[in-house]
Structures are given as structure tokens and as C-alpha cells.
Structure 1
Amino acid sequence: MTKRIFIVLFLALLLLGGLFGFKFYQIQQVASQVKPPPPAVVAVATVQQAQWPSSIATVGSLTAIAGVDVSNEVVGKIKAIHFESGQSVKKGQLLVELDTDTDQAELKGLQAELQLAKSQLQRSEKMIVKKYLSQADYDQNQAQLAQAMAAVEAKRTRIEKKRIQAPFSGELGIRMVDLGQYLSEGTPIVSLQQLDPIYLDFTVPERYMSLLDNQQAILATVQAYPDRVFSGKIFAISPAVEKDTRSIKVRAQISNKDKVLRPGMFVQVKIESGKSIPVLTLPDTAITYNPYGNSVFLIEQTDQGLTVQSRQIVSGQSREGRVEIISGLQAGDRVVSAGQIKLRNGMPVTIDNQPAPGERENIQ
């Protein structure tokens, strides 16, 4: 009985083994007939050496040549307001008067003390000649007169400071106080900005330092007036390079007679130096822009054929569909200019015979 069971099990195992072997053979045959996917077809662009006119494109912001929030030096209640919001004013023009009734009354008292001190000194001068007065008393009367004069002058100065005037000519902003309001020291009253001319502050990468010079012409555009180009000249160049950004601070001056340019405006700046500089360029379609840095897929020749490898680059200016390559590539390197989405490092590729999309218009 045991021998029969053993024979049955042996035959069953032999049958199952044969079935599994046959199935495995079928799977291997099917797998051998499946062809691997063909290499991805990509368009390729070559890193080219070119001479670009050394115009520098950057951005900046406008700053008033003189700009302050007009405020009071002494406390007091507003007695009169002599300006309107948005008004043009001249240097020294009266803007606000604070109440001076108490100060005027105190001034009269100080003036009376001054007159008394003058009279006492005059009598002392006659008495000291006749030796009726000591030198110490005479000196004391002189000091009292000086103190009285200083007190009167201090009170007049305080009264004058309650007449708040424009420190320079310019344009007023929105009034921030009201009639009868009590002002503590340093309360902002109104913004005053000198708008003509106006400063333009911007930064330039340190590699362009040799292209900058005082009195160099610049062109500026703002979003508020896209059809206008404002011209100016470089006014000052910082003598030091910023350590964090490796850039140079530059200040230009722009004529603003119609006062359309206002402090704080965002400005696009272009600087023409009249020189040419050598640059490496690629079509902009070849570059993948990411928050953590720009990259390209570099074509490499390996034992398996052409493959791609991601390469980090530093890009610069962009002109007519081509981008300046500052670092990461060399002249003659080939990179993928179309089809990057389907690629990964080490993936085989086939080069499209057509030119790169960014270069086809130039060939036609």
C-alpha cells in the first residue's frame, strides 16, 4: 500500500514538474520575442561661441533725491494748516502753525526781564566807575543780562519751530493730521518728495564691473508707461562688491520734469557700453528652469551609444531666443533642446535630423 502511494506521488510530482517546465519555456520564448523600447528621439542644440554687444539688463527701483516725512520738533496743538494734499511747495513755505498763545505770553515776560537786566547793567556801569559797586556785583549784572537775552532767544526759537515749513521744494503727499490735533514731538504731518530729477538704484553682477563708468547712459522703462523709454546717466558706482550677492550697487539720475516717475516704482534698466564681449549661448528651449537651479540634458558618447546626463548650469541674459551660459558647459557641447520631459539620466537617445526648434527660424 505504501509503495503504491509513493508511486502515485512520484508520478504527480513528475507531471507537475513537466507542466511548470513547459510554462517556463513558453514565458522565456515570449520574453525573447519582446523587443526593448527604441531610444528616445530628441532634438539637439550645440553650445555656440558668440560676440554680444555688452548691454546689461537688470532691474531697479526709483528713489527720490530728497524725501522726508515732515514732522514737528516741539509739542503743540495745530492752529492752522496751509497746504493741501498733493500740492507742490517751495523751500521755506509755511505748512502748519501750532498754537503759540502761551509762548507769546511767556515771551513778553522774558522781554520785560531782559529790559530790567539792561537797566541794571547800565546803572552798574555808572556806579563801578565811581567805585560805588564791587566788580563781583557788576559781573553778576552782566551775567543776568546774558541769561535774559538767551532766554528771550530760546523762546523766540521755540515759537518759530511751531511754524513748520517745507525743508525743500517738492511734492506733498497725503495729509496725516487735522486742524486742532495735538501733536507730540516727531508726529508725521505729510510726506514731501523731490521728484525732479529722480534717482534710479539698481545692482549689476560683478562680472560686468569693467563695463560700468560714471556718466554712462542708461535706458529705463516702467510698467505704468510701457510705451515710454526714460534716459539717464549713471551718477555713482559703489566702490565695494556686495559679499552676499556678488553684485555692485549703482545709482543713476533721470530727468523727471513731468513728474510721472515716482519713488518706489519697479524699473527695467538697460545699459549700453558700446563694446562686445564673448559669450556661450544656447536656445532657450534647451534649458529647464527650476527653483533650485537651471539645468540641461548633455549628450554623451558611451559604449552603449548616445546617452543623456543632467547638468546644472548658470544662465545669464536672454536675447532673441538664445540664453547666455555663464558656467556648466563648454563651446561645442551638445544638449537636448526638445523632448526633455521623457528623459532621465543614462537613458539612450537618438538625435533628430532636424535642427533644434530654437534654431529652425534662423535657418529658414
Structure 2
Amino acid sequence: MFVRLLLVLLALAAIVAGLAFLKYRQIQAEIALFSQPMPAPTVAAAVVETSTWEPALNAVGTVRAVQGVDLNNEVAGQVKQILFDSGAKVKQGQILLRLEDDVDRAELEGLQAAERLAQIQLDRNRALLKDRAVAQGDVDEIAAQLDQARAQVKSRQATIEKKAIRAPFAGQLGIRQVNLGQYLAEGSAIVPLQALDPVYVDYSLPERHLAQLRVGQPVSVRAAPYPDRIFAGTIQAISPGIDQGTRNVLIRARFENPDLALRPGMFARVATQLPVQERVLTLPREAVTFNTYGDSVFLIEETDGKTLAQRRQIRTGAVRGDEVAVLDGLTEGDRVIVAGQVKLTNGQDVSIVSDSDEAAAAPAQPE
């Protein structure tokens, strides 16, 4: 009995010892694996180049019509005729709508008759005055009555004229807001009218750029409906004052718009062109890490046969598309990392896959 129990205990001890040995070998293998050096992360690089730079001041603006109004009526009345269609192009002075004016015209005829009678009486009294058949006071009274009659005629004619709503300038109409037979109170909205060629683009720039702006300076605009099209214009006016709330200066640029592509109220991305700068250092924008403590890049250096990534503080300038100007910190020919730098540390060994800023770098190996 005792021998059998001893054999069982020995067997259990052998099994436990075997399992412990296998676990020990596994732990030693994992330690050996993690003690091996990590492979260098793969990155893409680009060369700092010198190029001709056409800097621009970028902003957002709003397209505005050179002239735009909501047409309304000066006098009240009932709509008699509608002589336009929504969206139509009209000429300056074209009659768009007439209000009921039959009563006014009838009153005008009566006033004109009174004017003629006053003129006849004045002529007769002047003839009688020569023979001293009437007093000078009678002639003066009739002359005053004639002037009053003429003024009443002109007043009624002006009222009739105001009941014919005309286009104050050439342009394109909007959506009609009145109907035939509708009674319009004074100042009722009838239809919008916009002059669309040319158009203005209003935008603002920080006050620090004021010295770089001048009337006639070229400006380009992009609009969302035409992503591949650039509209060219010039600065027409610069506000004489600075907005105290934003410290921005308001600018108005003028654009020819023969095909009516730009419409009032449209959002626009504006680029105010500055003089061309020669020999400006540039590098891809994605190579730069922008933060409040300063901009930096990972510069590639060859040391003891190794390719190392060294963080370098730089000073950047204007941005043009995917490029950024470098003002300080780099020289022409330096190579910087443009992809795969997210998990890099200063002085880390790297593997370069391309010297083109368009090459895609493989993901960095986990640390």
C-alpha cells in the first residue's frame, strides 16, 4: 500500500517537473525574442529645394453684385399689368409692372383743363392790363393760379409715373413676389434685381498685411460650384479703417463675369497675389509638424553608416498648395521625412524607401 502511494506521488512530481521545464523554456524564448533589436521603421523622404515662389494671402470672401436691389413700389395700388418673367434679363428703364392708374389719369385730365383755363385767363388779363381795364393785382392772382394748376398737373403726372415700376439698371431678375390684381401697400417687395457682370468679392485680411496691399493688385478666386476653375480679378478698394473687433482690413475685388458663373452670396476662396520671390526654400507641407511651441521636421542624417532621424526646429513662411516656404533651419539639399514620422523619436534609426514626397511609406513597426 505504501509502495503504491509512493509511486503515484513520484509520477505526479515528474509531471509537474516536466510542465515547469516546458514553461521555463517558453519564457526564455520570449525573453530572447524581445531582447533582439527592433527593425528600423520605414519612412519616405523629400529633398529641400529652391524654387521661384509666387506667394499669396489666402482668405475667404463673399460674392456681391455691383448693384442689387429688391424692387418695390413708392405708392400704393392694385397690380394692373405684370410685364416680366422671373429670371429674365432686363434693360435699364424697362417697365416691369403697372399699378391701376385710371382714376389718376382722369384727375390729370381735369387738372390739365384747369391749367388751360388759367392760361387763357392770364393771356386775356394781360391784354386788358395794357388798356388799364384790369388791375395789376388781378393779373398777379391769375398768374399764381396758373402756377398752382401746373404744379398740380406735375404732381399727378409724377404719381402716374410712379405706378409704372421700371428697372433702375440693367440686370437679371429674381423670383416674382406679386400677382396680378394684388393690392400693394407702399414699399411692397416685387422682385429682386441683380447686376451680375461684373461682380465684387468682399473679404478681409489681418492688419499686418496692409502694407502689402494696393489698388489694382491681382486677385484670384475659387468657388465651390467650379472647383477646377480660377477667376481672375483685381483689388478695387481697400477700406481706410481697421475693424477694432477683428483687427482686419476689408477689401473689395472686382471680377468680370460675362458667363454669370459667379452669383451674389456665393462663398469664395480668395488668394491675393504678392510679388514673385526668387530662390525660396520649399518642402512638402506634410513634412512639417506645426504646434504652438514652434514648427519642426525630422532631418535625415548619415552617422557611422546609419541613417538617423534628427528633429530640427524650423521657421516657416507662406503656404502655397502642398508646399510651405522655409525661412530658417534648413538648407538646400537637406532631406526630411515626409511620411512615417508619426512614431519616430529623436536619433532613431530609419529605413528610407523613397526620396519623393509622393511615395507612400510603410507603417512604422510597433515599439
Please, what TM-score do these two structures have when normalized by structure 1?
A: 0.68
SS in 1 for 2:216: coil
**Residue 110 of structure 1 corresponds to which residue in structure 2?**
111
* Equivalent-residue separation in structure 2 for 1:100 and 1:139 (angstroms): 34
Are 1:286 and 2:286 an aligned pair?
Answer: no
Q: 1:124 to 1:228 in 2, by over 3 A?
A: same
Deviations 1:62-121 (A, max 9, x none): 110010111111111000000000000000111001000110111111112112211221
CA contact (8 A) 1:57 1:317 kept: no
SS in 2 for 1:286: coil
SS in 2 for 1:253: strand
CA contact (8 A) 1:55 1:270 kept: yes
**Residue 164 of structure 1 corresponds to which residue in structure 2?**
165
Q: 1:319 to 1:118 in 2, by over 3 A?
A: closer
Q: Percent identity?
A: 40
**Residue 178 of structure 2 corresponds to which residue in structure 1?**
177
The 5 Å alignment of 1:318-357 reads 318-319=319-320, 352-354=348-350
Q: Post-superposition shift, 1:205?
A: 1.9
CA contact (8 A) 2:73 2:187 kept: yes
Q: Post-superposition shift, 1:273?
A: 2.1
* Equivalent-residue separation in structure 2 for 1:160 and 1:108 (angstroms): 15
CA contact (8 A) 1:89 1:172 kept: yes
Q: 1:355 to 1:263 in 2, by over 3 A?
A: farther
- Deviation larger for 270-279 or 174-183: 270-279
**Residue 248 of structure 2 corresponds to which residue in structure 1?**
247
The 5 Å alignment of 1:88-107 reads 88-107=89-108
Deviations 1:40-61 (A, max 9, x none): xxx9xxxx9x995432111111
CA contact (8 A) 2:295 2:316 kept: no
* Equivalent-residue separation in structure 1 for 2:316 and 2:88 (angstroms): 47
Letter in 2 for 1:197: P
* Equivalent-residue separation in structure 1 for 2:322 and 2:93 (angstroms): 54
CA contact (8 A) 1:297 1:340 kept: no
SS in 1 for 2:202: strand
**Residue 130 of structure 2 corresponds to which residue in structure 1?**
129
* Equivalent-residue separation in structure 2 for 1:255 and 1:214 (angstroms): 16
Q: Post-superposition shift, 1:184?
A: 0.9
CA contact (8 A) 2:87 2:175 kept: yes
Letter in 1 for 2:88: Q
Are 1:221 and 2:222 an aligned pair?
Answer: yes
* Equivalent-residue separation in structure 2 for 1:355 and 1:135 (angstroms): 115
* Equivalent-residue separation in structure 2 for 1:362 and 1:355 (angstroms): 15
SS in 2 for 1:133: coil
Are 1:145 and 2:146 an aligned pair?
Answer: yes
**Residue 197 of structure 1 corresponds to which residue in structure 2?**
198
The 5 Å alignment of 1:57-68 reads 57-68=58-69
SS in 1 for 2:116: helix
**Residue 55 of structure 2 corresponds to which residue in structure 1?**
54
SS in 1 for 2:227: strand
Q: 1:239 to 1:134 in 2, by over 3 A?
A: same
Letter in 1 for 2:161: E
Q: Post-superposition shift, 1:214?
A: 1.8
* Equivalent-residue separation in structure 1 for 2:358 and 2:190 (angstroms): 64
* Equivalent-residue separation in structure 2 for 1:264 and 1:355 (angstroms): 51
The 5 Å alignment of 1:2-17 reads none
Q: Post-superposition shift, 1:352?
A: 3.6
SS in 1 for 2:140: helix
**Residue 276 of structure 2 corresponds to which residue in structure 1?**
275
* Equivalent-residue separation in structure 1 for 2:67 and 2:261 (angstroms): 16
Q: 1:320 to 1:266 in 2, by over 3 A?
A: closer
* Equivalent-residue separation in structure 2 for 1:80 and 1:118 (angstroms): 36
* Equivalent-residue separation in structure 2 for 1:316 and 1:134 (angstroms): 92
Q: Post-superposition shift, 1:224?
A: 0.5
CA contact (8 A) 1:117 1:145 kept: yes
CA contact (8 A) 1:286 1:338 kept: no
* Equivalent-residue separation in structure 2 for 1:66 and 1:297 (angstroms): 46
Q: 1:317 to 1:169 in 2, by over 3 A?
A: same
* Equivalent-residue separation in structure 1 for 2:231 and 2:131 (angstroms): 80
Q: 1:320 to 1:98 in 2, by over 3 A?
A: closer
Letter in 1 for 2:289: A
* Equivalent-residue separation in structure 2 for 1:92 and 1:108 (angstroms): 26
Q: Post-superposition shift, 1:136?
A: 1.8
* Equivalent-residue separation in structure 1 for 2:68 and 2:199 (angstroms): 11
Q: 1:202 to 1:102 in 2, by over 3 A?
A: same
Would you say how many aligned residue pairs link Structure 1 and Structure 2?
292
**Residue 87 of structure 1 corresponds to which residue in structure 2?**
88
**Residue 5 of structure 1 corresponds to which residue in structure 2?**
none
